[in-house]
Amino acid sequence: MRIKDLPVDDKIRDLRQMHLNELIKIKGVITKRSNVFPQLKKVFYNCVKCGNKLGPIFVSTNMEVKLGACVICQSNGPYVLD
């Protein structure tokens, strides 16, 4: 379905948090384009010592994951990616 003539015409620079989950109409000029990459991955880790599953943890592609002590066995891992 194509939607046209929405009454509100937001400017792309005026987009704010209030626009989250709203249907908006904007005009803009594409200056750069690339494939759409998934920015977040949902991962689970398993504690090697007790097998406890940690997660889901949301990580962005180049972010280092810092896992604290395991809530079950209180060790600091090691953890393996599930």
Q: Rule CB under 5 A: which of 21-50 touch Zn ion? A: 47, 49-50
Q: Name the amino acid, one letter, at 27.
A: K
Interstrand relation of 26-27 and 10-11 (parallel, antiparallel or unpaired): parallel
Provide the 10 A C-beta neighbour count for residue 74: 10
Residue 25 or 78 having the CB closest to Zn ion: 78
Residue 45 or 70 having the CB closest to Zn ion: 70
Q: Please state the closest distance from residue 82 (CB atom) to Zn ion, in A.
A: 13
For residue 44, what are its two tokens?
A: 């689970």
For binding to Zn ion (CB under 5 A), which residues are involved?
A: 47, 49-50, 52, 70, 72-73
